[in-house]
Amino acid sequence: AQSVTQLGSHVSVSEGALVLLRCNYSSSVPPYLFWYVQYPNQGLQLLLKYTTGATLVKGINGFEAEFKKSETSFHLTKPSAHMSDAAEYFCAVTTSGTYKYIFGTGTRLKVLA
């Protein structure tokens, strides 16, 4: 069975500071990993994904994540937070051949001026 753990339901950072949102997964087969973002009153939007190949993946809006198999992690980072990054972020896992995502509980990011 697969699972996802997002540490920290709420994270606050100052504008311009590093953003680090943590995601650990459990999977008995090679995982596909995703980060989605939900801005207020909007749907879930894909930020980035890892399927195979390069373990450091870059996404939209300056975000990136690194797949670390040994640590079963897929943490999301951004060097410098912007006010517009305030949203809820979801990590998800699935496997090749299935679209059935397992989501984490989400992390709400607050950016302080």
Spatial separation of the C-alpha atoms in residues 87 and 90, rounded to whole Å: 10
Q: Does 32 bind another protein (CB under 8 A)?
A: yes
Give the residue, chosen from 18, 46, 60, 112, that forms a contact with another protein under the rule CB under 8 A: 46
Q: Which is nearer to another protein, 10 or 82 (CB)?
A: 10
Q: Which stretch binds another protein (CB under 8 A): 21-29, 31-39, 58-66, 70-78?
A: 31-39
> Site residues for another protein, window 62-101 (CB under 8 A)?
90, 92, 94, 96-97, 99-101
Output the six-digit token pair for 56.
Answer: 């450091």
